[in-house]
Structure 1
Amino acid sequence: MTPFIHHVSLLTRHSDENRAFYIDLLGLRHVKHTVNQENHRMIHDYYGNYYGAPGSVITFFIVPLLGNRYDNDHFLNTIGLKIPMGSLSFWKNRLSKAAVAYTEKPNELHFFDKDQVEIHLVEVAQEPSEEQQPVDNNIPSSKQILGLLSTEFHVSEPQQTIDFFGRLLDWKAHNHRIALNQTDFIDILPSANQKNMRMGRGSMDHVAFAIADDEALDVLYEKAKMQDWQIEKIVNRGYFKSLYIREPGGNRVEFATVSPGFTIDEPLERLGEQLALPPFLANQRAEIEKNIYEEK
């Protein structure tokens, strides 16, 4: 399977302003409203294309009273998003009307969300699929975001992280960039500050890369054990099965299967409309709903 970014997951404090930015402004669909499976009191929201397809999804853990982040010795940074060729002017106008400041590069717009997460909108030679249903909003289907493009690893020793991806996945870097496919990539960059990082508002908890199926994930798990990487866990999330590893720079990397997807606990037409729980949490619904953190 051709490599691509499955999803990225970040932290935010305020769900209302987060949803306003990613749903109302950027036009993504709210494809899953669920809980953090490590802490059932914490809401976990997923945004993506109409289907919530791998390669389109950005997720946020809602953490009340979350403090500021400190991007120091290691951190993940930026969300690159693909937009169709010829749509840059539309997005410049949309951002301006929303009073979102941006900088422009050839075929690119750079700006920040409310948590100071850097967003890149980049025109790519990729047309929306004819069978791809657009999200129901006020953005023309020919201008809607196509999916994830890129992110950055900031680490003290970039070569060690490059070697990690090379040994485990046979991915090659050129000028600190790993091209995943014809459009998508990750950059592995030296961190400028060697103080300890601290997670906070806008921190990216992990980046997930797509894996074809359970069998391929199990093979990767065995290879990671053989190569003695820092494995955190392999776990079934319901919507996908995941392997978590700390790369040598300290950032969390997830490898996630492309199926079964978000329709295991609610129909496609109603995704994200209510609190959804995967089957293994369904019998705990009353307790979970009672104890969800209140936003301050």
Structure 2
Amino acid sequence: MATILGHHHISMITKNAKKNDQFYRETLGLRRVKKSVNQDEPSMYHLFFGDLIGSPGTGLTFFEIPMVGRTHRGTNAITMIGLLVPSAESLQFWKSRFEELGVKHDEITRYAGREALSFEDPEGLRLMLMNNNEEEVPKLWTAWEQSAVPTEHQILGMGTIEIIVKNAGKLEKTLTEIFGFTVKERSGEHILLQAIDGQGFGEILVKELEGPSEKPGRGSIHHLALRVKDDEELAHWNERVKERGFQTSGIVDRFYFKSLYFRESNGILFEIATDDPGFTVDSSVENLGEELALPPFLENRRQEIESNLEPLD
């Protein structure tokens, strides 16, 4: 039986890859597991951050668009990224770290039933550190020992993802009836759904809000990718999504994984992505993220592509 295994990765827009790279590596202590380009527009960087090997469920990825304007916030958008940390002590560690480094943040509060600390990256992307309270996480998640953050307080991976839409019922139906999400909690216009019952690493919090749709820009979220095991299951989901009347991109080979894309009724873009082959397909674990990595179909353009990119290191 095909199942959604949680989140795979989430992709955002940045105006400046160099500053983005510094924040996610040096401030948040994530590993840059791949320095690549937008495969559809290779003049732009595509950066991948995560755990030791960028395991599925830990990936934050950024497309660099140097000419992008600011985000005009609104509805029909993915609006916040939850990141799990090990404990309540970890939240205190991060609060002190943000104060020391001048990162915009709020006080520790509660969000989706967990202790949480909200903050923003330099471009206004909204994120939330959430206490995992020593609950189970995927076994493949692996700490990066060379991180600037001590292992006991490192970001583990993705937690609750917030999505605000005009019609929450339609999004709920898509997630429950197609993908098998279950409703954990319903409160007013908020619906908390889980891909795996009782687990925070595949959670989506849906909020309903009327008003203008968000106009994306720097610091906005482009899409959320859901995790599936392999090519066979991806083909199953491609047919399942089409059966429900949605158009899909068809299966796309992204070299590091295969995936498909579709927009649900509110316009939210979802990707469904496979675990394999992963980011070590063209690099050793030790050298991940150091050199510019290109998929085979772009390798013959390496000199041209590198000449158009500002060096990051």
The alignment's TM-score, normalised by the length of structure 1, stands at 0.93
What residue in structure 2 maps to residue 160 of structure 1?
170
Q: Which residue of 1 aligns with 2:135?
A: 126
SS of structure 1 residue aligned to 2:67 = coil
Query: CA 1:127–1:222 in structure 2 vs 1: closer, same or farther (change >3 Å)?
Result: closer
Q: Is the 8 A contact 2:104 2:121 kept in 1?
A: no
Give the residue type in structure 2 aligned to 1:189.
K
Corresponding residue for residue 198 of structure 1:
215
Q: Deviations over 1:145-190 (max 9, x none)?
A: 1100021111111101111112211223341111223223101111
Aligned to 2:206: 188
Residue 280 of structure 1: CA displacement?
2.7
Provide the residue aligned with 1:249 in structure 2.
266
Determine the C-alpha separation between the residues in 1 that align with 2:4 and 2:235: 18
SS at match of 1:230: coil
**Of 103, 116, 123, which aligns to 2:124?**
116
Q: How many Å separate the matches in 1 of 2:17 and 2:162?
A: 24
AA aligned opposite 1:110: S
User: What amino acid does structure 2 have at the position aligned with 1:178?
Assistant: L
Q: For 1:230-279, what per-residue CA distance to the aligned partner results, in whole angstroms no more than 9, with x for missing partners?
A: 32342010000011010111010000001100112222111111110122
Over 3 Å counting, the alpha-carbon distance change for 1:199 and 1:131 in structure 2 is closer
Structure 1: give runs of 5+ residues left out of the alignment: none
Cα offset for 1:130?
A: 10
Matched, 1:137 2:147: yes
Once residues 177 and 3 of structure 1 are traced to their aligned partners in structure 2, the CA distance between those partners, rounded to angstroms, is: 17
**Please, which of 96, 105, 111 is the counterpart of residue 109 of structure 2?**
105
Q: Secondary structure at the match of 1:259?
A: strand
1:160 and 1:112 map into 2 onto residues whose CA distance is 29
Structure 1 residue 131, shift from structure 2 partner = 8.9
Q: Where does residue 26 of structure 2 map in the other structure?
A: 24
Quote the Cα distance in structure 2 between the aligned partners of 1:20 and 1:5.
24
1:26-58: CA deviations, max 9, x gaps?
100011000001111111001000111011110
Partner residue, 2:236: 219
Residue 267 of structure 1 aligns with an amino acid whose one-letter code is: S
Decide whether the 8 Å contact of 1:154 with 1:191 is kept in 2: yes
Query: 1:39 corresponds to which residue?
Result: 41
Shift of the 292–137 alpha-carbon distance from structure 1 to 2, 3 Å rule, reads closer
1:179 match: 194
Residues 230 and 72 of structure 1, relative CA distance in 2, 3 Å threshold: farther
What is the CA-CA distance between 1:63 and the residue it aligns to? 0.7
Gaps of 5+ in 2: none
- Structure-1 residue corresponding to 2:157: 147
Q: Is the 8 A contact 1:84 1:127 kept in 2?
A: no
Cα distance, 1:131–1:76 mapped onto 2, change above 3 Å? closer
- Note if contact 1:265-1:279 (Cα within 8 Å) is conserved in structure 2: no
Looking at structure 1, the residues matched to 100 and 136 of structure 2 have their Cα atoms a distance apart, in angstroms, of 26
Deviation at residue 216 of structure 1 after TM alignment: 0.2
User: Are residues 1:67 and 2:85 paired?
Assistant: no
After TM superposition, the structure 1 stretch with the greater mean CA deviation from structure 2, 26-35 or 69-78, is: 69-78
Moved over 6 A (4+): 127-131
The corresponding residue for 2:11 is: 9
CA distance in 1, matches of 2:140, 2:300: 39
Alignment length (residue pairs): 294
SS at match of 1:258: strand
Task: Name the stretch that deviates more: 244-253 or 88-97.
Answer: 88-97
